[in-house]
Structure 1
Amino acid sequence: MFKIIMSIEKEKKAHSTLRLRAFTRSIMRDDGSLPEEYLRYVAEPTKEHLKILQDAFPDEWKSADHEAVQGELKINDDGLVEEADQRLQAYYAENGQTGFVLIGGPPCQAYSLVGRARRTKHKEELEKDEKQTLYKCYLRFIEKLKPTAFVMENVKGLLSARHYGEGVFGHIRHDMLDAGYTLHSLKTTKPGSPHDFLICANDYGIPQARHRVILLGTRNDVQRAIPEVLRPKSPVSVRQAIGKLPKLRSGFSLRVHEPLDWSVYVREAAQKILNDAHGELLREELKAVRKGNLPARQSAGYVNAEPDNPLVCWYRAHLDNRLLTEHESRNHMASDLDRYLFCAAFAKHNMRTATLYDFPEYLLPNHKNAEAVARGRDVIFADRFRVQMPDGPSTTITSHISKDGHYYIHYDPVQCRSLTVREAARLQTFPDDYFFEGNRTDQYRQVGNAVPPLLANQIAGVVSRWMGIPAVDWFDDQNDRSLSMS
């Protein structure tokens, strides 16, 4: 229903990913399948395979390279705004139509609640932080290009951020009104407070408790009814989304100098937990670790059937084979394997994730929070090691997953690891054919910074229908297919 004219991304590897995705859309066949050259590249992303792919579809690659722009938005610099305007006018002239939708959001570091707490302890410094006005780069596109509608996304800290004593959300709302737009909530047609613009992704079929402010703005001179709202969907759990992906073991980080046998180490770690007073209750949960078959590999390139996954058709729609990419576990410090194993077993037994207060003393990390816990004092981040519980949505997948896996521990004690890029991508609802360029750190960062595509699909349906273009979101389409088959 929409065609992308231009995307803008600052980071080099994220830009490469957007360019590849633009290219992928253009070479997708009418039945939704993808050419063999693409599948070969994502299965083994070498320079040679990329060259073969580019040579097979040179025009499509050139077009994708034009669509995806690597650049940085800057206040008082209209270069990218003017480039977007030129592309729009050329498109209008060629296609005889006008009207477009702007999507995106300003840099969000200034609005992050955790980021603000860590960056400064002084309120007056925070309120003078110029990053809090970077939404004006986005506003400039609106003022200059006058989109029919726009969708703007940001972290929920936007609702409480302040600038020179005034709420940033209020600033944004007044600026949008001055530009000739009305803001709409996607969860109620009559928003009464800023929190009515806060969207909880897990309410809409996303296996992740991701809370983000999403604003839908419509131009005041476009005379249409108030846009509809998102329709709640059945919940999807972590287990349903990733539970049937191949089991993997973790590895040891390079800081381990002596060679270690992973299976031997993990079994010994399980026994050590059982020998501690805290561990006796976890005997049943650790039985499979001590006596069962442990995963033998760190990566897997194929996936089997997933009969209990309600999103399997979304994840696998463009892959008619078993290909699975970027499902490779990261390496961990040996001492962290002990903690991950304890946390996974504890969560399985207690139906909740462990905090530092639950840890055996020998497992407490060398960290000031752990020192405070050992002394019986309260700490803020007592849950810095968190298991993603299997029977509900995950916690928010953020870019911090690129730094360590402590907050994203797999729920299965046998695997004793953090989530892979593909597992994190699934919790964000990226299709399995979506390939992330760069090293693993780059990939994690891209996944964490994204808006869940399946949520974006539903928002696109709302915007499209408001513009008078018939559209069915993926969930409704699945229901229609089921009804027609029955």
Structure 2
Amino acid sequence: MHPFELAVSAEMEASAHSTLRLRAFYRLLVRQEGSVPRDYFAYLEKVAKGEALPPSVHFGEGKWKPLWDQAEEEALNLTLGVEKDNRALLDRIEAVKDEFEEMILIGGPPCQAYSLVGRSRQKKVKGFRSKGTTKHFLYKQYLDILAEYSPAVFIMENVKGILTSKVGNNEMFAAIMRDLADPSAALSGSSRPGKKDKRYVLLPIHLDEAQKRTTELVADNPAAFIIRCENHGIPQARHRVIIMGIREDLMHPGVATVPGLPVSDSEIPIEKALAGLPKLRSGLSRQQDDPELWKWAMESERDWVLKVLGTSMPNVSGRLKKLKPSHGLPRSSIRYSEGTSCFTEKLRNSDQTVVLNHETRGHMQSDLGRYMFCAAFAKEHKRSPSSEEFPKRLAPDHKNWESGAFADRFRVQRQERPSNTVTSHLSKDGHAFIHWDPKQCRSLTVREAARLQTFPDDYLFMGNRTQQYIQVGNAVPPMLAREIAQVVWSIIKK
């Protein structure tokens, strides 16, 4: 059963839009055919081998053109905050809204410093700025849609820092909550005379045992909005604020007792999440790949680290002395390895034969030494080293290295634990996502990060590798999204 259907989505970045459009086509394809057709997997095989045309050409002509055209109408390449693009989104909503019983709005607009409540007062507050990049005003577009179309439910996601965000000495979360509860008043400054503007009751998605979903629950403790992904079957310690707004006229007594998200008996470790993905080694940045040169660089760095450590960390040194670089491994692979788990069976279709978006970065030679040290340290101590535990001669030349602000800049993802939060910063460097195996000496690939985010393996990320990392890091885990949708459906179907 598919109680929800995605009618329109908006994305400003070109490569992310290409990814979104292809997935819109995929959903339409599966719904029409009943399962993923062989044509789609054949296309993924061409992509993996570097032989594929762009999906807009491959699927946009011939047999699948009607579905591709539908996908293009659904997934829009828009920059909200630009007037013509705002209009295009509203026109699309207007065109399709009557095809559905109710509307659900989903988004994660940046809004910490741009709540519209008391904007004139906030301008007088030291530290407040009304200027910003276009993305800072996505919050206003979110409120515009709430005020204009009064969706049955909205879901808004943000980082948990929003709970303590301040402008000057003013706490912003209470103002943001007022905006969301009465979007029309937030936009106009007061309720509009003669118009029955819809208000919203703001509630948490998840409930602990014996709790009831009430406004008092989050009024007393706004942290009740926080979802801790590792508690709900996601192999990642991702903590996010997720607010559910229910239109007042749809509130009913059963809302309080609709169960929250499923709670896992145990956390899913990274090793299980990455089962079946082939082992890879890293490379050296800014030069053509050469396994023997990489091996030499690894051995040189290993010996240098051992010299720097001296007698200070004998157990870590003992591990490094035994380290033999896996120079026989490739930098990328499109073939699955042996191994699976109950978790990965949910993400991998048995008809898929190729691995996508799975290639390693090249690293500076000095970072290879740091990665080896960190991975060996984590094996020994069951945690990553802090900056204070780094030998000074091994530390990077960063101005803020000793400030304490980035004490865990180099962080190993331990195979027996869920990962840390996958963020878009992974696009800049992999220092916070070091693979646990020092012989591979690398950061995580896009596909590995996607697995930790619970994307299915047939989800193809478009664009270059940097753009792919950003797309993965910015996402809400699809498995979590499905669980949230179940809560919303349980509420509105009554």
CA positional deviation for 1:322: 3.2
CA positional deviation for 1:366: 1.0
- Which of 23, 26, 49 is the equivalent residue of 2:25? 23
Please say if 1:285 is aligned against 2:288.
no
**Distance of 1:265 and 1:85 partners within structure 2:** 56
* RMSD between aligned residues: 2.6
CA positional deviation for 1:430: 0.7
Query: 1:15·1:70 contact (CA, 8 Å) conserved in 2?
Result: yes
1:310-459 alignment runs, 5 A limit: 310-317=342-349, 319-370=350-401, 372=402, 379-459=404-484
Deviates more, 1:137-146 or 1:258-267: 258-267
Find the residue that maps to 2:109 and give its secondary structure. Answer: coil
Code of the aligned partner of 1:42: V
**Distance of 1:409 and 1:217 partners within structure 2:** 38
Percent identity between matched residues is: 40
Query: 1:197·1:215 contact (CA, 8 Å) conserved in 2?
Result: yes
Q: 1:230 to 1:388 in 2, by over 3 A?
A: same
Q: 1:72 to 1:52 in 2, by over 3 A?
A: closer
CA positional deviation for 1:139: 1.2
Please say if 1:98 is aligned against 2:101.
yes
Code of the aligned partner of 1:242: L
Query: 1:75·1:134 contact (CA, 8 Å) conserved in 2?
Result: no
**Distance of 2:345 and 2:291 partners within structure 1:** 42
Match in the other structure for 2:202: 183
Q: 1:208 to 1:109 in 2, by over 3 A?
A: farther
Find the residue that maps to 2:27 and give its secondary structure. Answer: helix
**Distance of 1:33 and 1:294 partners within structure 2:** 38
Q: Deviations over 1:220-275 (max 9, x none)?
A: 11143214321212311111112542111101111799997112221332233233
**Distance of 2:52 and 2:415 partners within structure 1:** 38
Code of the aligned partner of 1:463: V
Q: 1:258 to 1:18 in 2, by over 3 A?
A: closer
1:294-305 alignment runs, 5 A limit: 294-305=327-338
Match in the other structure for 1:72: 79
CA positional deviation for 1:310: 2.9
1:121-270 alignment runs, 5 A limit: 126-128=127-129, 130=131, 134-163=138-167, 165-179=169-183, 180-188=199-207, 189-190=213-214, 191=217, 192-224=220-252, 225-226=254-255, 227-233=258-264, 234-254=266-286, 261-270=293-302
TM-score by length of 2: 0.83
CA positional deviation for 1:176: 2.4
**Distance of 1:142 and 1:22 partners within structure 2:** 24
Q: Runs of 5+ in structure 2 lacking a partner?
A: 115-123, 184-198, 208-212
Match in the other structure for 1:39: 44
**Distance of 2:14 and 2:410 partners within structure 1:** 31
Q: Deviations over 1:435-480 (max 9, x none)?
A: 11000000001111111111001001111121218xxxxxxxxxxx
CA positional deviation for 1:321: 3.5
CA positional deviation for 1:174: 1.3
**Distance of 1:44 and 1:331 partners within structure 2:** 21
Query: 2:236·2:452 contact (CA, 8 Å) conserved in 1?
Result: yes
**Distance of 2:68 and 2:489 partners within structure 1:** 28
Find the residue that maps to 2:10 and give its secondary structure. Answer: strand
Deviates more, 1:450-459 or 1:271-280: 271-280
Find the residue that maps to 2:482 and give its secondary structure. Answer: helix
Query: 1:183·1:218 contact (CA, 8 Å) conserved in 2?
Result: yes
Query: 1:81·1:141 contact (CA, 8 Å) conserved in 2?
Result: no
Query: 2:10·2:89 contact (CA, 8 Å) conserved in 1?
Result: no
Match in the other structure for 2:194: none
TM-score by length of 1: 0.84
Q: Deviations over 1:268-309 (max 9, x none)?
A: 32233233324532245335523x7544210010113433x2
Deviates more, 1:130-139 or 1:15-24: 130-139
**Distance of 1:388 and 1:187 partners within structure 2:** 27
Code of the aligned partner of 1:21: R
